[in-house]
Amino acid sequence: MATATATATETTTTTQDFGYKLPYLFRRFSRFIMSESLVLESTPADGVRVLAFNRPTKRNALSQDLIREFLDKLSVASVDAKVKTIVITGGSSFFCAGADIKEISVLDAEGARQCRYLENLCQGLQNVRKPMIAAVEGMALGGGLEVALACDMIYASNTGKFGLPEVSIGLLPGAGGTQRLTNAVGKYKAMQMILLGSPISAQEARAAGLVADTFEAGTVLDNVMHVAARLASMSPTAVSLAKEAICRSDSLGRDDEFERSLYYYAFGTADKREGVGAFLEKRAPSWAR
């Protein structure tokens, strides 16, 4: 644990070390409320709310507890009149490693459908009308990339990697990945990334139009804060309407429900059981033929 001083109030707050040096604005204005919180929040600049995944020992994997806490804080930020821009970030090596494999391992097709696995995450992100920016240090994989894809801008470190490796455990992306990635980079690049499960570098992601810009490792949040502060200074109404218009264009022809139906079906397959089992047992999978 590290200790950060909130100079504005001359009080001291205990904060989580993200694995890299917190940028100046973050150090000066952050007021993290710490305990065992899985999502840290702060308002480091006027109009900017930062939500940071805080499950470092699990590479910020999306457990149901983390998702619930994230959506609770996202919902509060989305209706707070003082918040104009929301920044979502993680740690230095992993923005987010995706869904929690141990939780996936106990779900079959019926269980996944009944609990509508990840649907709350999709809907919660989709319902936010304020602009959201993903500040990605390190890797954004699986559900982590899907969270970033649900944001309105993605900025990344030049050492970052992006991937949807679900096929390697006998599944497919289930939080909008097949739809949003295809819209972002086109059918053929999306096919390469999803069917092969191969991550791409931040440079490739930028060239493909997935990432707005890249920065030196450890400086992404610093740079994103400048973007977020500028965005927060714009007309909230105009920004909200512009986002709505762009998202409507993006969603035409998209079918998240169809993706989700295939995703839940995959939970009942032998390949899912073998893939997840192999992952947890740290061995190569032996697929049914």
Catalytic positions are 99, 143, 146, 166
Structure tokens at 66: 């983390």
Query: Residue 33, Cα to own-chain centre: how many angstroms?
Result: 21
CA distance 196 to 200: 11
Q: How many Cα atoms occupy the beta-carbon half-sphere of 132 within 13 Å?
A: 23
CA distance 70 to 260: 21
Structure tokens at 274: 């073998």
Q: By C-alpha distance, which of 52, 190, 46, 70 is closest to 124?
A: 70
Q: Which residues pair with 42 in a beta bridge?
A: 50
Cα dihedral across residues 137, 139, 143, 149: positive or negative: positive
Residue 210, judged by CB atoms within 10 A of its CB (0-12, 13-18, 19+), counts as buried
CA distance 234 to 46: 12
